Amino acid sequence: MALFTRLGQGRHSTYIILRVCAILALLWTVVFVISPSKIYWDPLSSWHYRWLDYTEYEGNAEDACNCSSLLQGDAHSLEQAKLLSISRDFRKKVLRSHDYYINATRDCRTFKSSRKYLMFPLSKEEEDFPLAYSIVVHHKIQNFEHLLRAIYAPQNIYCVHVDRNAEVSFLESVMSITFCFPNVFIASQTVDVVYAAWPRVQADINCMADLFNVSTTWKYFINLCGQDFPLKTNLEMVRSLKTLNGANSMETEKMGNGKIWRIKSAHRIVDGLLQATGETKEPPPFNLPILSGNAYILASRGYVQSVLKDERVQQLIAWAKDTYSPDEFLWATIQRMPNVPGSSPPDAKYDLSDMTSRARLVKWEWHEGPVYPVCSGYHVRSICVYGVGDLQWLLEQHHFFANKFDLEADPVAIHCLEWHLRHKALADIDLSL
């Protein structure tokens, strides 16, 4: 606990020094990496300092597929990238095991340096507006580590919930990574996450409680899963959240008739699966209108406090525990309750769809064509697992994050998103001292 208490201390005294270092490193990059100068520089001796490049592909990813062209939707580049993603030699170079991360993090300093984590705020504006993250994971360690690197900033705070059913080696690798960062930690209480059941919500609530108790400075809460990836830089998120003026942003709209059964019938977990009991549930407390929504939200600190402490919300939570997929209505319903900080009135004119909220972009199979382009990857439970061909469309959207990505299926898609976000973050760096 004392470790987290120190997070907010001493930053101002080191801020100028860190800014000078940032400027010098950026100038170095401009001179020796971006500049067309003929000055010879051995890339093998300089890669440690090249912030704009990622080294895990040993240069081959950017050489074989031009991210700039891919992000513009160039057909030839897209075809090359697809072929590269299935290449045995390429996949052998880019895919990492649990053991890789366990061994690589034995020296945290080298790990953070070689993996190009940004270990200081890129602007005073970001430093003064810290964010809190909940990340719920159970597999795909490389997806998790790439996600953490993409969203990491030292002023933010990160709670990682690892499913109790996860492989021991996965848990060990997550613990090894989090140990390297003072502001990243494993949730103090974990649960067995079951698809469409209450424990999925409980995992986020456990992280909410830890984040709320550990730090008093963060402004907004963002919850993620291991197959999410950002579409915005930290600075873009901060500036977007500031425009909300304390309001929350999440999907919340009238529940369709096709989903009413989820809250009318009682369910329980049997042998790791959610099953209907055949019993009819009582109406929700206070005759609350139950709204349809999404599991992922952008919520103010006041909203999180209501989730943890408001007696009305506690009664709603108790009622929701035996419903089907409570994560897809609980947050949305709380968002429309009177006197919840950042909430909206329950009137239908305040309904917000997943496309108009800012939290999460999901491409549903049944909406492809009329609503958005066809998925260039593949589908899991009717959700697009993005391929590199989806990147141009994704980056045109206003959402903070998109779901789903799978580095094992299309490593180039994540590589180019990382490349794009790092360039953008450094282009927006605050050079004033």
Which whole number is the average pLDDT over 6-13? 42
- Asked whether the beta carbons of 298 and 359 are under 8 A apart, the reply is yes
Evaluate whether residue 164 is within a structural domain. yes
If residue 265 lies in a helix (H) or strand (E), which one and from where to where? strand 265-270
**44 vs 134, which has greater pLDDT?**
134
Q: Using 50, 70 and 90 to split pLDDT, how confident is the model at 20?
A: very low
Which whole number is the average pLDDT over 263-269? 98
Evaluate whether residue 8 is within a structural domain. no
Q: Using 50, 70 and 90 to split pLDDT, how confident is the model at 430?
A: low
The pLDDT score that the predictor gives to residue 427 is 87
Evaluate whether residue 413 is within a structural domain. no
62 is catalytic: no
Evaluate whether residue 116 is within a structural domain. yes
- Which among 251, 253, 328, 418 is annotated as catalytic? 328
Alpha-carbon torsion 55, 58, 59, 63, what sign?
A: negative
| pTM confidence score | 0.86
Tokens of residue 292, six digits: 């349809």
Whether the per-residue pLDDT at 46 is higher than 70: the answer is no
30: left (phi over 0), alpha (psi -120 to 50) or beta: alpha
What domain count does the chain have? 1
Across 21-25, 123-127, 391-395, 406-410, least confident range? 21-25
In 3D space, the residue among 247, 273, 277 whose CA is nearest the CA of residue 261 turns out to be 277
Evaluate whether residue 97 is within a structural domain. no
Tokens of residue 94, six digits: 């880019």
Q: Using 50, 70 and 90 to split pLDDT, how confident is the model at 392?
A: very high
The pLDDT score that the predictor gives to residue 410 is 94
Q: Using 50, 70 and 90 to split pLDDT, how confident is the model at 93?
A: confident
The pLDDT score that the predictor gives to residue 28 is 38
Whether the per-residue pLDDT at 4 is higher than 60: the answer is no
Range of the domain at 224: 108-259+262-267+269-359
Q: What is the CATH number of the domain that holds 284?
A: 3.90.550
Evaluate whether residue 60 is within a structural domain. no
Which whole number is the average pLDDT over 352-374? 95
Evaluate whether residue 117 is within a structural domain. yes
In 3D space, the residue among 331, 366, 368 whose CA is nearest the CA of residue 253 turns out to be 331
Evaluate whether residue 283 is within a structural domain. yes
